[in-house]
Each structure stands twice: as structure tokens, then as C-alpha cells.
Amino acid sequence: MKDMNVAAQNNISDLLKLARKFNCFYLAGLHQGICKPFVVAGHQVGLIRPDVMKHLQRFPEVFRLAGKYVELNPAFRDYKERTLKVADILQKLRKDNEICALKGWRDECFEVSAPFYHESLLEMDRSAICLFGIRNYGVSVSGYLNHPTKGLCIWLQQRSFTKQTWPGKWDCFVSGGLAVGYGILETCIKEAAEEASVQGELVKKLVPAGCVSFYFESERGLFPNTEYVYDLELPLDFVPQNADGEVESFELLTAEECIQRALTPQFKTTSAPLALHGRRCRQRRRPATARQLTHNLKISTSKRAPTNTPPEDFDQRARAN
């Protein structure tokens, strides 16, 4: 019994260490007070670090560093004008080749909105979102099956070594960001087809499983993330096949092996909470380790996303399944 208690405590300790990595800004950086709110049309939409402010101060006609906050010039009155003005500055900064995040330019835009304000204020290349600490929304699919001898098993993917972010790292079965023009369920269906060739009747089995939110920080910037999570029970004979060149390989692991993989440096840090969430949702009761993580580290694992939720209400609960 003593050995079992020691093992359980070690497991909790490992999970807490992991949580401190993927929720690092919320637990440490946020309280330092060195970042300034980023304000657009009177709404705070993000936070900006000093290393980014030093670049923005070169463009006072677009970004106003007004004491306690940074404001996008209020003379820009609509979505299109704000988007064009910011895009012009980002392209100039990209040509300077001094900002790490912009070296991974994606030519794919995310919408920018404010807490409790559903109207989008502008759009911005996804590589630049982290420079302004703007909340990033995405989807994640937990592909699982109930094996007759191994029990609960979960599919993981290894990201392509040519990916601009987290190359070669292990990741959840399917995931992707909410780009401009795509809804939550629509993104989920698109990514499932592209990354794992999940199509037809099988994709109709997607089930909404809540949201996971955390606040990560790296040398690239600030990442307040909210992921809409779906569960997908897969047939025993299903073998995922990548269709867009962004996945190196897939591997089927038991639930315990999945958790152990998530604890390693070979796993994408910001996908670790999704792996933990997927395992928890597949169990009938909530384990003590998950309760402790949520309580002590303020990881949101809820049915709804916090603050500036996209207009869709989880695509009406996946259009009632």
C-alpha cells in the first residue's frame, strides 16, 4: 500500500510539473506586470511584451503606446481598415527578419475579438497572434477505441519534421486552429479529413467533449489558448492515413502509455492538457490527479470557452450530434 501511495504521489508530481509548463504564463509571467494591454476600438484584446513593444514604437501612426496600454489607432474605423493597417506593419517587421514568430509566416489569418464582444475587430496572420497575446482558438479530436484485450486505447500523431512549429513532436490525433471563415465543427471536419483521412459516416460520430484553456509563453510570444475538444470512437480496423503532408506517422497507445508519452519532452507541450483531458473524459469518474491539476493550476476544462468565445455556441453542440 505504501508503494502504491508513493507511486500515486510521483504521478501527481509529474503531472503538476507538466501543467506548470503549458500554463506557465498564467502562473508566473502574468503576475510580473511587465506586459501592457493591447486595445482595439476600446476593447482589450490581448497583452504585449516589452520585446514586442520596442518594435511597435517605430510605427506611432498605427500603434499608440499610451502609458499603461498599447492602442491601435482609433482612427481606423472598421474591420477592413484595421486589418490592412496592421498587415502592412507586420509585413515590414517580417522583412526586418528580427522577430522569431514572424519567421513562421503562415498566410492564414485568425480573427481578433474581445471578451464578451462577438463582433470581430480585425484579422491577423496566425504567426503574429502571439506577439499581441491574442486568444487563439482551435479544435482537437481525441481518436480512441475500446480494445478487447488492452482496454481504452488512443491514437496519437507525430507531427511532420517540416512543420513550422513543434516539428517532429508527438501530438493529439487531430488538431487545428480556427481560421477566418471557418466554424468550430467545420474546422474539426476539415482537419480530420486532412490529417487522418476521417470522412463519410465516421466523421459524423464526432462528439463535443468540452473546452480546455491555458496560457502558455515561449520565446515566440504569448499564447492564451482555448481548444474545443471532440471525442471520436474509431473502429478496431481503422488505420489513419495523412492526406496533407503535415503528419509523420500515427501510433495507437493504451491510455496509460498515452499519459506517459505526454509527460516526455517528445510531446508537444501545448497539447499535453488535451491528452490529459481526453483520458479523463473517457473514464466514468474524474481522477484525483485531474481534480488537483484543475484546482491548483487554474486549468479550465469546461463545457464552454472563457472570455472572447467565437460566435458559434460550440457549433450548437456539434449540431446536436
pLDDT digits (tens, 9 = 90+) for 154-188: 999 999 999 989 999 999 999 999 999 999 999 99
**Has residue 15 been placed in a domain?**
no
pTM of structure: 0.83
Domain end point (choices 130, 165, 189): 130
Regarding whether 215 and 178 lie in a shared domain, the answer is: yes
User: In terms of residue numbers, what domain contains 120?
Assistant: 29-130
pLDDT in the model for residue 292: 43
Q: Could you tell me the three cell numbers for 20?
A: 506548470
Q: Is residue 43 part of a domain?
A: yes
CATH assignment of the domain containing 34: 3.30.750.160
Please report, for the domain that includes residue 273, its CATH number: 3.90.79.10
Q: Are residues 177 and 272 in the same domain?
A: yes
306 — pLDDT class (breaks 50, 70, 90): very low
Q: Tell me, what's the pLDDT at 208?
A: 96
With b for 16 or more beta-carbon neighbours within 10 A and e for fewer, the 43-60 pattern comes to: bebbbbbeebbebbeebe
Work out how many domains the chain is built from and give that number: 2
Cβ(221)–Cβ(52) below 8 Å: yes
Residues 79 and 177 in one domain: no
Judgement on whether residues 72 and 145 belong to the same structural domain of the protein: no
155, β-bridge pairs: 252
For residue 228, give Cα distances in angstroms to 137, 141, 302.
8, 9, 10
Residue 314: pLDDT over 50 = no
Q: Is pLDDT larger for residue 289 or for residue 109? A: 109
pLDDT tens for 33-48 read: 889 999 999 999 999 9
